[in-house]
Amino acid sequence: MMNQVPEITLNDGLTLPVIGLGTYKLKGSMGVNAITSAINLGYRLIDSAYNYENEGTVGEAVRRSSVPRQDLLITSKLPGRYQSYELAITAIQESLYRAHLDYYDLYLIHWPNPKQDKYVEAWQALIDAKKWGFIRSIGVCNFLPEHLERLEKETGVKPSINQIELHPFFNQGQQRKYHQEHHIITESWSPLGRANAVLENETIKQIANRHQKTVSQIILRWHYQLGAISIPKSASPERQLENLSIFDFSLDESEMKMINGLTRPDGRLQNQDPAIYEEF
């Protein structure tokens, strides 16, 4: 079955579908089956990371699926411990070897780790890896405006994407506005709040009833109407299909406002503030 998913063009010309598959915790043969199922249902954008230890799983699913490699958009991410230039170049190559892929479509710096202060060096490595054909588009995750500004000032190259925590309880209004003004696409991680209390929220349930959709579909539609790419993770083919089926209805302005009103300053899932939190 094929599902038509709208696309967004990044500032470097690469085009991505507005929904991709998250793969955190999808590993081994169960992971391969889940990712292959998603591709067969119409997912083309797949998220992964060196630190998820599932680049091999993703590569295997790519080879087992019926979709040609050039029609898929595969993402991985550079871990904090490899942010020096030399280590980053090696890690990118290692990422490719693990997946048995010749190139990644998108490669992101996983966290800025500002105390370590190496992310500009890492960015230079991504810029060069793109020149050498290892990567088609380069971006970051969890970068605050001050980190994004340094990249552009010190290298002249800005990211195509910033993948950030974004769900109804933490909607990142200011960060999204910054992205919009600087032509950086927002990609939402944990778009369903990792299936926490947000899926039981009464306001969203009411909207879901009105549209005869599920709460997850309302939330993913909200991401789409915010202009963000979302990457919901699901191991279940039923829920993968549910999460793709959001293009036959729309939320009106008042419904968008109601969902926007659910955000709270302490709404992050695990208090991972990129100004302080570090991941290696």
Ligand X SMILES: NC(=O)c1ccc[n+]([C@@H]2O[C@H](COP(=O)([O-])OP(=O)(O)OC[C@H]3O[C@@H](n4cnc5c(N)ncnc54)[C@H](OP(=O)(O)O)[C@@H]3O)[C@@H](O)[C@H]2O)c1
Shortest distance in whole angstroms from residue 123 CB to ligand X:
16
Interaction between residue 142 and ligand X (CB under 6 A): yes
Is 104 assigned a catalytic role? no
Interaction between residue 191 and ligand X (CB under 6 A): yes
Beta carbon nearer to ligand X, 153 or 249: 249
Q: Which stretch binds ligand X (CB under 6 A): 81-89, 189-197, 200-208, 254-262?
A: 189-197
Q: Which of residues 157-176 bind ligand X (CB under 6 A)?
A: 163
Q: Which stretch binds ligand X (CB under 6 A): 18-26, 37-45, 61-69, 92-100?
A: 18-26
Interaction between residue 241 and ligand X (CB under 6 A): no
Which residue of 232, 251, 255, 259 would you call a contact of ligand X, by CB under 6 A?
232
Query: How many residues form the binding site for ligand X (CB under 6 A)?
Result: 26
Interaction between residue 194 and ligand X (CB under 6 A): yes
Which residue of 123, 143, 189, 222 would you call a contact of ligand X, by CB under 6 A?
189
DSSP-derived secondary structure for the chain: ------EEE-TTS-EEESBEEB-TT--HHHHHHHHHHHHHHT--EE---GGGT-HHHHHHHHHHSSS-GGG-EEEEEE-GGG-SHHHHHHHHHHHHHHHT-S-EEEEEES---TTT--HHHHHHHHHHHHHTTSEEEEEEES--HHHHHHHHHHHS---SEEEEE-BTTB--HHHHHHHHHTT-EEEEESTTGGGSGGGG-HHHHHHHHHHT--HHHHHHHHHHHHT-EE--B-S-HHHHHHHH--SS----HHHHHHHHTT--TT--SS---TTT----
Among candidate residues 52, 104, 107, 119, the one labeled active-site is 52
Quick note: the x/- pattern for ligand X over 20-59, rule CB under 6 A, is: --xxx----------------------x------------
